[in-house]
């Protein structure tokens, strides 16, 4: 039997699963938090539900735990720089990034390809992360192409046949 993959081996292999890129946000006591996240998945269509996996050390994850709500901002292909910006620990990530507060009280990035406001219904601790299962209360999308993430790099999605 092979030994379990090390952290680095696992990261290298799971990085072959291509994804989109989001900025998950939450507003805690009037202060916006946000982090780049690709561990995001749709969960149920009826009722509409999704899940996000947040490192327990993420300040955004902690804001979600405290408020019970968050938004998923799906990035378009021109927003790789924003993804890098929100993948840091800076305390003032929103200083140069405009946002609006959505009708459910979450910070929304107006330029995003799509935004969804969510309410946490369950939290599951697993390894280093917490999984937040949530109902989707609002969902809006605009025209455009998504930012992609594959093997540690940002890129564009090539549509088959097109």
Ligand X SMILES: Cc1cc2nc3c(=O)[nH]c(=O)nc-3n(C[C@H](O)[C@H](O)[C@H](O)COP(=O)(O)O)c2cc1C
For tokens 């993959």, name the residue: 5
Rounded to a whole number of angstroms, the minimum distance from the CB of residue 88 to ligand X is 5
- Taking the CB of residue 59, how many other CB atoms lie within 10 A of it? 18
Report CA-CA distances (Å) from 115 to 66, 67, 135, 150, 151.
21, 18, 14, 22, 25
Which position among 15, 48, 55, 104 is part of the footprint of ligand X (CB under 6 A)?
Answer: 55
Under rule CB under 6 A, residue 53 binds ligand X = yes
Task: Give the torsion sign (CA, 32, 37, 43, 45).
Answer: positive
Residues 5, 41, 113, 147: what is their CA dihedral angle, to the nearest 10 degrees? 20
- Is the separation of the CB atoms in 135 and 121 below 8 Å? yes
Rounded to a whole number of angstroms, the minimum distance from the CB of residue 46 to ligand X is 25
- Report the residue number, 94 or 102, with the smaller CB distance to ligand X: 94
Q: Is 30 exposed, middle or buried (0-12, 13-18, 19+ CB in 10 A)?
A: exposed
Per-residue contact track with ligand X, 112 to 151, x per CB under 6 A?
Answer: -------------------------------------x--
**Which among 67-75, 87-95, 100-108, 136-144 is the span making contact with ligand X, rule CB under 6 A?**
87-95
State the residue number with the nearest CB to ligand X.
39
Considering CB under 6 A, how many residues would be counted as binding ligand X? 18
Which position among 25, 60, 73, 115 is part of the footprint of ligand X (CB under 6 A)?
Answer: 60
Backbone angles phi, psi at 4, to 5 degrees: -60, 150
Under rule CB under 6 A, residue 35 binds ligand X = yes
Give residues in contact with ligand X (CB under 6 A). Answer: 21, 35-39, 53-55, 58-61, 83, 87-89, 149
């Amino acid at each position: 039997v092979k030994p379990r993959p090390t952290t680095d081996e696992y990261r290298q292999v799971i990085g072959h699963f291509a994804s989109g890129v989001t900025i998950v946000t939450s507003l805690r006591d009037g202060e916006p938090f946000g982090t780049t996240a690709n561990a995001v998945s749709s969960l149920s269509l009826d009722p509409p539900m999704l899940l996000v996996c947040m490192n327990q050390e993420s300040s955004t994850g902690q804001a979600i735990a405290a408020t019970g709500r968050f938004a998923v901002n799906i990035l378009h292909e021109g927003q790789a720089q924003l993804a890098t910006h929100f993948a840091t620990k800076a305390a003032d990530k929103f200083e140069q990034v405009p946002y609006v507060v959505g009708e459910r009280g979450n910070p929304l990035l107006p330029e995003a390809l799509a935004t969804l406001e969510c309410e946490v219904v369950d939290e599951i601790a697993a390894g280093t992360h917490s999984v937040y299962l949530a109902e989707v209360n609002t969902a809006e999308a605009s025209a455009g192409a998504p930012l992609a993430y594959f093997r540690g790099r940002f890129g564009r999605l090539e549509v088959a046949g097109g």
